[in-house]
Amino acid sequence: MNTSKFILVFIAFGLTACASNASEIRVPAGFAATVFASGLNRPSSLAFGSDQRLYVAQQNGDILAINAGGAADPAPVARFGATTLGIAFRPNTRELYASTTGRVAMARQNADGSFSESTILVSGLPTGRHQNDQIAFAPDGNFFYLGVGSTCDACTEADPRSGSIMRISADGKSQTVFARGVRNPFGLALHPQTGELFATDNGRDEPLAGVPDELNVIVANGNYGWSPCWGRGQGTNCAGTIEPIAELQAHSSANGFAFYSGENFPAEYRGNVFVALWGGNLPAPGVGKRVDRIVLNRVDGKWQGVVSEFASGFDHPLAVAMNPRDGVLFVADHGNGKIYRIAWTGR
């Protein structure tokens, strides 16, 4: 993805009767998809604030806010710049963190809802074919995890931070490599019950066949195989590496994801993972472009995931978030500039 130039955006949205039906999105029986927002400039990340507004990062670094009543601020509430791919609020604070090219910045929300100028907390991260991606905070807010993509498709990296997941203190002063062997760990989230860190990973482009994208449970000092080993024991030099709990469609670019812990969906969906597959360009235009559902189960003390398609018809979905207040799922489509709202209606 390339940094896009700044454009003004017009937000068209509705939460209830004002929402327009998203006939292009196919969802299981009993669910309904509506267009929540449109006209965005490549939305890349979603985060719900304590003020009950949905915050949307655009790839150009502009952050928009849409409140629970369906009104959006007419201008960006914060600006971070340089290909913003991840935003997250630090728990129990009004501090918004953003992952941009080679750095992490923070802007503090004021009492009136506006944000201060951003402060760079982390800089000099390696970039190349990929960059640093999404952010996941520990519950106490003292540190966060950050996915850092590789600079190449398959190589030996000179910088140990490339192709890793880092653990960084909230002030940015303490930075360590937490796990390695991940080519592009775009999505990060903590399991809502166990606190375990999960991450998606984009598999190698070469070879063209047989290299899946992955969902992994990330443990301290874990090695996940990139670059010679992938999937469940495929490739070479797999001894001592950790296999994924779920394999996703090859070259589908498995990116943002969310655990479902709400009450809107039927009970069998609780604890499931919903992951956005951004999709392929040439030579694989039909790959991905959907949201997959992963049902997690414990088998002999280890997680296993069963993957199925949940929603399709997107252009390039990139981020997924669950509204913690009503349990509705939101999907940001990076390709067409829309945010979709998916809810259970029982009809």
Q: Domain locations in the chain?
A: 20-344
Tell me how far CA of residue 104 lies from CA of 87, 156, 169, 216, in angstroms. 10, 25, 11, 23
For 155-176, the pLDDT digits (tens) are: 999 999 999 999 999 999 999 9
In this prediction, residue 281 carries a pLDDT of 73
Of the listed ranges 5-9, 275-279, 308-312, the one predicted with least confidence: 5-9
For 12-58, the pLDDT digits (tens) are: 333 232 468 999 999 999 999 999 998 899 999 999 999 889 999 99
- CATH number at 20-344: 2.120.10.30
Which of 69, 25, 72, 64 lies closest to 47, judged by CA?
A: 64
